[in-house]
Structures are given as structure tokens and as C-alpha cells.
């Protein structure tokens, strides 16, 4: 018994000694390894010159820094709308909010805000408040509006303030990057980005007052409150004024529309210089869209041109001999894509200009000479006939 216990004791001591020795050896090796292994190298700095995404990010940041000081938010208090269909007259004023951009117009003194008509329409100047990026608030001294294009211009009592550069919207192509500025849901100085998704969009419904529809389409996020804000290219130039979205919910769905800046500039200059926008007209009612069935019925081999539904009496179109079911295919050397294309071209022409139309009638092309009329003088009479 004593021999057995002694053996166990010696074996236990040997085991414990082995364990302790192993721990000490492991600890010694660990320390030696730790001392001999160099520290990991510091991460290399990003080479922005060789990283296109980093360069693009820097470009976005530079554009935002350049343009943001000229972006404004707008609040307008409008009188209650008139009652319709026997409804009870509303007594509370309507509050509208939107966005805008500070600009200078070549050859015209002063600083102006460009925004949408639907943001400020019917609101007197003393009920419109412009919030600048530096938190100043002011009332416009004068307001001009063009409901047919949804453009409005506000004159501010400012001598010096940051203003945005105005770009050439005709140079924008599908796929070009753009940045949208605005105040969606009251969140001032919000910036989103996207691309130009399409050009010359016109087949969209924006209410009865808007006739001039020639939009840039973008997938940059635009929401309520962003109306009137600028759409900007990566050169920091305003190439459009955001005006509408296509959405069933009323919020961004990736399909938004911006008025091209070249059109906005022409309208803004006329509003400030003359108080009204001069436009030409023919005096025809056009089909909202010509589909494949209409083209086949008329003997056309493709869907193109503007289909005349009716001709108003005592108008340039009536005097020139245009008829119902004529399809206007061309103005001088310009091929007509659709009814909006025709309206936009004619509207941009001065009264008295002579043009030659190529018209599809009785399954053949005919030439008809027309003298452009003055839309401002004829508008009231024609609108009462519709």
C-alpha cells in the first residue's frame, strides 16, 4: 500500500512538473515570437488620382459646395381657392412650400430667384418668404409668372449674394450625372444625385395651365418641397428647374421632370423685360397622342407628327387651309416628333414669321405656307372656344 501511494505521488509530481515546464516553454516561445514579428504596416492612403470613384465623390462635393449658397427655400401663403361644384367655401389660406435658385440674368441688373409658378401662383409678394442659405429671410419686391411653362421669377432686394452659373441644357445627354437641390418635406439644403434618364419628355399630364412641356427626365430623388429647385451638372451649372414627379403615392419613384434651363432663361428674360412671354400659335386643336392605329388608318408607315383634331376659325391655320385629320410632319426643315414638339416649336416663334408645313393629307404629302399668329392676342378668344 505504501509503495503504491509513493508511486502515485512520484507520478503526480512528474506530471505536474511536465505541465509547468510546458507552460513556461510556451510562454517563452510566445514572447520570442512576439518580439521577432514586426508590427503590421499602416494602411496606405487612398490614391485619389487613380481612383475614379473617389474622384467622382470629390466632384460631387465640390459642386455641392459651389451651388448650395445660391439655393433657397420658399414659403407662399395663398388665398383660399374658390368653391367648386357646390362645395363649402374654404376660409383658411393655403400654404405652399418649394425651392428656388439665385441667379443673375445677362444684361439685366439685380438678383433674381427662379422657381416654379405652382409654388407661388396667386400669392401676393408680401405673402412670399424667401429663406436664403445663410438663414436670412426676405420678401420679393416683384413677382412674374408664366403658368404655361410653370416658371416664376422673383426679384429680391439684394445687391450682393452668391448666384449660380447657368448651363446649356441642350448639351445634356442621357446618362450624364446630375445633382438635385431642394427642400423636400421642409428639409432645407437637401442634395440628391442621379442621371439624365431621357430628354424631350412631353407626354405627361401636369394640369390644364401648362402647355409648354419639354422636360429633362431624371432619376435623382425629388419629393414634395423640391419644386423649383435646381438640377445641376458636374460643372456646377444649373441645367434645369425641377418641377414634377411621376408617382402614384406623391413621393419620389425615380421618375422626375425638370424644365430645361435654356427654355427657363428665355422665359425669365421676357418676364423681367416685358412682363409677359410672347408666343406664336397656329390655331389648331391637336390629338393628345397619335398611336399606331391612327397611323395605320391614315396610311402612315410610322407613328410620327402631330394629328390635327380641329381647326379654329379666323386663325392662321384656318387661313392657310389646314384641315381636320391632317398630320403635320415637318416645319421647314425640322421633322415633327409629336404634338408637344410642334407646340414647343410654334410657341417659340415670333408672330408674323412665315413657315412652310409638310402635311400628310389623303395619303400624300402636301406643302402649306402659314404665317405665325400672336398667341397673347388670341389666347382669351381661343380658350373660351375650348
Active site residues per annotation: 118, 150, 227
Q: Report the DSSP pairing between strands 354-361 and 327-331.
A: antiparallel
What is d(CA 223, CA 175) in angstroms, rounded to the nearest whole number? 21
Please say whether the beta carbons of 229 and 99 come within 8 A.
Answer: yes
What does the alpha-carbon distance between residue 293 and residue 35 come to, in Å, rounded to a whole number?
85
Backbone angles phi and psi of 199, in degrees to 5: -120, 160
How would you class 302 by CB atoms within 10 Å of its CB: exposed for 0-12, middle for 13-18, buried for 19 or more? exposed
Report the Cα–Cα distance between both ends of the chain, in Å, rounded.
124
Q: CA–CA separation, 365 vs 8, rounded Å? A: 118
Here the cell at position 1 is 500500500
Cα gap 21→14, rounded to integer Å:
10
Main-chain dihedrals φ then ψ at residue 327, nearest 5 degrees? -115, 115
All three cell numbers of 136, joined, read 436670412
317/337 Cα distance (integer angstroms): 19
Distance of alpha carbon 116 from its chain centroid, rounded?
Answer: 11
Amino acid at each position: 500500500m505504501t509503495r503504491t501511494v509513493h508511486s502515485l505521488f512520484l507520478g503526480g509530481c512528474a506530471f505536474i512538473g511536465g505541465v509547468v515546464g510546458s507552460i513556461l516553454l510556451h510562454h517563452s516561445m510566445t514572447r520570442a515570437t512576439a518580439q521577432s514579428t514586426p508590427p503590421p504596416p499602416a494602411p496606405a492612403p487612398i490614391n485619389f488620382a487613380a481612383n475614379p470613384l473617389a474622384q467622382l465623390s470629390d466632384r460631387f462635393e465640390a459642386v455641392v459646395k459651389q451651388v448650395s449658397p445660391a439655393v433657397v427655400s420658399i414659403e407662399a401663403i395663398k388665398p383660399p381657392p374658390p368653391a367648386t361644384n357646390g362645395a363649402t367655401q374654404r376660409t383658411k389660406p393655403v400654404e405652399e412650400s418649394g425651392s428656388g435658385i439665385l441667379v443673375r440674368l445677362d444684361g439685366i441688373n439685380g438678383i433674381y430667384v427662379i422657381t416654379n409658378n405652382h409654388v407661388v401662383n396667386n400669392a401676393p409678394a408680401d405673402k412670399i418668404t424667401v429663406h436664403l442659405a445663410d438663414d436670412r429671410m426676405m420678401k420679393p419686391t416683384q413677382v412674374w409668372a408664366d403658368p404655361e411653362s410653370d416658371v416664376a421669377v422673383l426679384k429680391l432686394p439684394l445687391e450682393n449674394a452668391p448666384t449660380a452659373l447657368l448651363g446649356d441644357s441642350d448639351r445634356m445627354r442621357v446618362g450624364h450625372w446630375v445633382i438635385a437641390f431642394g427642400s423636400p418635406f421642409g428639409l432645407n439644403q437637401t442634395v440628391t444625385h442621379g442621371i439624365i434618364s431621357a430628354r424631350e419628355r412631353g407626354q405627361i399630364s401636369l394640369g390644364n395651365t401648362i402647355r409648354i412641356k419639354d422636360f429633362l427626365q431624371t432619376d435623382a430623388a425629388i419629393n414634395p418641397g423640391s419644386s423649383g429647385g435646381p438640377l445641376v451638372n458636374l460643372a456646377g451649372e444649373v441645367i434645369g428647374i425641377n418641377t414634377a414627379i411621376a408617382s402614384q403615392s406623391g413621393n419620389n419613384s425615380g421618375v422626375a421632370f425638370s424644365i430645361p434651363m435654356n427654355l427657363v432663361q428665355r422665359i425669365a428674360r421676357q418676364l423681367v423685360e416685358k412682363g409677359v412671354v410672347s408666343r406664336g400659335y397656329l390655331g389648331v386643336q391637336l390629338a393628345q397622342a397619335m398611336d399606331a392605329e391612327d397611323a395605320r388608318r391614315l396610311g402612315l408607315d410610322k407613328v410620327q407628327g402631330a394629328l390635327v383634331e380641329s381647326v379654329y376659325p379666323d386663325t392662321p391655320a384656318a387661313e392657310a387651309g389646314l384641315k381636320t385629320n391632317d398630320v403635320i410632319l415637318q416645319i421647314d426643315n425640322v421633322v415633327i416628333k409629336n404634338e408637344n414638339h410642334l407646340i414647343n416649336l410654334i410657341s417659340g416663334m415670333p408672330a408674323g414669321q412665315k413657315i412652310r408645313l409638310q402635311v400628310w393629307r389623303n395619303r400624300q404629302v402636301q406643302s402649306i405656307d402659314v404665317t405665325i399668329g400672336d398667341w397673347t392676342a388670341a389666347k382669351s378668344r381661343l380658350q373660351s372656344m375650348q
